[in-house]
Amino acid sequence: MRDLLKSLAGCEDLASLKSTLAKLFTQFGEIAQMDVLTMTQPGKRQALCFLRLASAAQEQQAMANLGVTRFGNELLLVVDLPAAQAHAAEPLAHRTDNGRQSESASSLTATT
C-alpha cells in the first residue's frame, strides 16, 4: 500500500493520478467524492487531492493506514508531481462524484 502511495508522485497526467488514487482509496471503501487540483509554480507542480469515502469509519481507516490528514470534512493528500512542460497544458482541476465526471472543472494556478 505504501508503494502505491509513493507511485502517486510518478503520475505524469491527471488521468493516471486519479486512477492511482482510486486504486489506493477503494481499498478502504467506496469513494463518494474526489476533487483533484494541481498547482504549478516555476519548477514545481503539486496535486491537492480531496476525498470523501462512504463512511467516517472508512476515512479513519485510510487516515491511519496512509497517514493522510483531514481538511474540513474531506481527506487531504498533497502529492509532488513531475514538473510540467510549458506546452503540455492539461485541465488543472477535476471533480468526480461517485465515479462520474462533473460537467464543470475549475482551475487553480499558484503564482509566486
Q: With respect to residue 55, please indicate whether it lies within any of the assigned structural domains.
A: yes
- List CB contacts of 67: < 8 A, sequence separation 6 or more: none
What is the domain count for the chain? 1
Q: DSSP label at 10?
A: G
CATH number for the domain spanning 37: value is: 3.30.70
* CA separation for the pair 103, 63 (Å, rounded): 29
The separation between CA 12 and the C-alpha centre of its own chain, rounded to angstroms, equals 13
Q: Is 21 exposed, middle or buried (0-12, 13-18, 19+ CB in 10 A)?
A: buried
pLDDT digits 0-9 by tens, 35-90: 999 998 888 889 999 999 999 999 999 999 998 999 999 999 999 988 755 434 44
Cβ atoms of 62 and 68 within 8 Å: the answer is yes
Cβ atoms of 20 and 13 within 8 Å: the answer is no
Q: With respect to residue 110, please indicate whether it lies within any of the assigned structural domains.
A: no
Q: With respect to residue 15, please indicate whether it lies within any of the assigned structural domains.
A: yes
78 lies in which domain range?
A: 2-101
C-alpha cell at 51: 476525498
Higher pLDDT, 112 or 49: 49
1 band by pLDDT with thresholds 50, 70 and 90:
low
Q: With respect to residue 38, please indicate whether it lies within any of the assigned structural domains.
A: yes
